[in-house]
């Protein structure tokens, strides 16, 4: 709504024609809407389609509108450290979505944001060091908020960081197994995903992990002879897909042997050792090391005491799913694709974990696992 007063002096904008603009009583939050797929809303230097293009806004971005031209077809907005103009028909009044404890999505970051995204800081305030940046549509887990509600502590890179709650919107995302109606079959006749051992590679050589399922694919890493690797699925020909350090890669299955009771990285009944499982609500990890030590760690409460893997029980006929016990922890580990609901990382195993809740009861957690 326009104020009843006009600015102390008219402001003229040089464009294809001179235009007057009227300020509004206070900046109002509005959302960018009705943008075609793959397009953005142009921010211009003046209220005209022929004015200089100074930036772009993605759909669903939230902006402060500080005025309009006289016929209200163009809105004057705060754009970084300066002001710009956008076509008003692509704006919708609405409050910025509120962050919630749990899973949230990053939203409202300008397409050409100079910081590269929502800045992650080491503390709750702009005076703290920047430790990263998050793009729009990135899933994050809010652990707690500052007293004034302006900052949120999130899990970031295995640790914690702080972001402005102004750019977060509450979501629902939990680790979710993704069973296939028709499981993929590896060249050895067994189902995928599964754990394999690197074999047939010379002691002084390595198996290259490539960014495409072909010998000419770029090298993104390597595996040593005898190393265990989780295979997520088939790719092309003899090539299979794996996840290496959070990145999808491909290796030649001719150099793989399915892990079994003879493998050093499994129990006698084939339960995989040396795995790490991750979950949300809140962020937690469970590691089962090759020496059978088991540790649960919560991002909020820190690590629990180390326990030991006491029992593993395969399904009838052998293999997955496995039930296991480690003193106060029990669970079921299955070999199937799993999504953490927050990233593009592929996991080859799904976990249901039962653990003490600290109040005399038991809580059930769901997570996704890979070889560590």
| pLDDT tens by residue, 60-89 | 777 888 888 888 899 998 887 788 999 999
Question: What is the per-residue pLDDT for 79?
Answer: 80
Q: Could you give the C-alpha distances from 95 to 28, 216, 294, in angstroms and in order? A: 9, 51, 46
Same structural domain for residues 82 and 178? no
Question: What is the per-residue pLDDT for 264?
Answer: 55
Nearest to 46 by CA among 23, 77, 24, 25: 77
- Residue 324 clears pLDDT 70, i.e. is over it: yes
pLDDT level of residue 344 (50, 70, 90 thresholds): low
Separation of alpha carbons 336 and 303, rounded Å: 27
Which of the two residues, 192 and 236, has the higher pLDDT score?
236
Same structural domain for residues 111 and 60? no
Helix, coil or strand: residue 298 = strand
Nearest to 347 by CA among 368, 366, 320: 368
Q: Could you give the C-alpha distances from 369 to 84, 143, 350, 352, in angstroms and in order? A: 47, 22, 6, 10
DSSP 180: -
Question: What is the per-residue pLDDT for 367?
Answer: 87
82 lies in some domain: yes
Separation of alpha carbons 80 and 88, rounded Å: 19
185 lies in some domain: yes
Q: Could you give the C-alpha distances from 139 to 167, 293, 368, in angstroms and in order? A: 12, 31, 16
163 lies in some domain: yes
Domain carrying residue 318: 174-372
Question: What is the per-residue pLDDT for 172?
Answer: 54
Same structural domain for residues 305 and 166? no
Average pLDDT over residues 110-118: 84
- Residue 152 clears pLDDT 60, i.e. is over it: yes
Q: Which residue has the tokens 């939050």?
A: 29
Same structural domain for residues 208 and 348? yes
Report the DSSP beta bridge partners of residue 102.
Answer: 142
Same structural domain for residues 205 and 343? yes
Question: What is the per-residue pLDDT for 178?
Answer: 53
Question: What is the per-residue pLDDT for 160?
Answer: 77
5 lies in some domain: no
* Residue 98: alpha-carbon gap to chain centroid: 19
Same structural domain for residues 228 and 353? yes
9 lies in some domain: no
Same structural domain for residues 348 and 216? yes
Question: What is the per-residue pLDDT for 7?
Answer: 33
Nearest to 190 by CA among 149, 160, 231: 231
Question: What is the per-residue pLDDT for 8?
Answer: 29
* Residue 206: alpha-carbon gap to chain centroid: 31
Same structural domain for residues 132 and 184? no
Average pLDDT over residues 282-299: 87
Domain count, the chain: 3
Q: Which two tokens stand for residue 49?
A: 């389609």
Q: Which two tokens stand for residue 233?
A: 């699925």
Question: What is the per-residue pLDDT for 198?
Answer: 92
Q: Select from 93, 128, 153 the last residue of a domain.
A: 93
Same structural domain for residues 38 and 181? no
Question: What is the per-residue pLDDT for 18?
Answer: 38
Q: Select from 119, 147, 170 the last residue of a domain.
A: 170
CATH number at residue 76: 2.30.30.40
């Amino acid at each position: 709504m326009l104020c009843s007063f006009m600015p102390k002096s008219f402001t003229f904008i040089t464009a294809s024609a001179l235009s007057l603009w009227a300020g509004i009583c206070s900046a109002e939050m509005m959302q960018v809407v009705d943008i075609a797929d793959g397009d953005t809303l142009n921010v211009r230097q003046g209220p005209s389609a022929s004015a200089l293009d100074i930036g772009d806004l993605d759909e669903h971005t939230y902006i402060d509108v500080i005025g309009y031209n006289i016929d209200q077809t163009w809105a004057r907005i705060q754009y970084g450290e300066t002001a710009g103009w956008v076509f008003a028909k692509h704006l919708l009044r609405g409050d910025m979505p509120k962050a919630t404890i749990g899973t949230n999505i990053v939203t409202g970051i300008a397409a050409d944001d100079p910081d590269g995204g929502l800045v992650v800081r080491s503390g709750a305030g702009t005076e703290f060091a920047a430790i990263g940046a998050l793009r729009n549509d990135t899933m994050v887990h809010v652990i707690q908020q500052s007293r004034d509600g302006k900052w949120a502590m999130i899990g970031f890179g295995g640790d914690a960081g702080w972001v402005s709650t102004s750019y977060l919107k509450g979501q629902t995302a939990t680790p979710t197994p993704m069973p296939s109606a028709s499981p993929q079959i590896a060249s050895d006749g067994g189902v995928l995903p599964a754990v394999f051992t690197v074999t047939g590679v010379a002691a002084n050589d390595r198996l290259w992990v490539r960014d495409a399922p072909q010998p000419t694919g770029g090298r993104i890493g390597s595996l040593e002879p005898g190393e265990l690797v989780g295979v997520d699925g088939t790719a092309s020909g003899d090539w299979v897909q794996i996840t290496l350090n959070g990145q999808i890669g491909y290796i030649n299955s001719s150099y793989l042997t399915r892990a079994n009771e003879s493998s050093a990285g499994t129990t006698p009944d084939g339960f995989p050792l040396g795995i790490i499982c991750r979950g949300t609500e809140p962020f937690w990890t469970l590691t089962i090391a090759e020496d059978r030590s088991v540790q649960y760690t919560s991002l909020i409460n820190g690590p629990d005491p180390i326990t030991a893997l006491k029992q593993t029980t395969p399904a009838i006929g052998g293999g997955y799913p496995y039930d296991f016990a480690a003193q106060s922890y029990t669970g079921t580990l299955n070999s199937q694709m799993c999504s953490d609901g927050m990233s593009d990382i592929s996991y080859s195993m799904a976990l249901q974990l039962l653990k003490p809740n600290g109040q005399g009861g038991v809580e059930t957690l769901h997570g996704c696992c890979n070889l560590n």
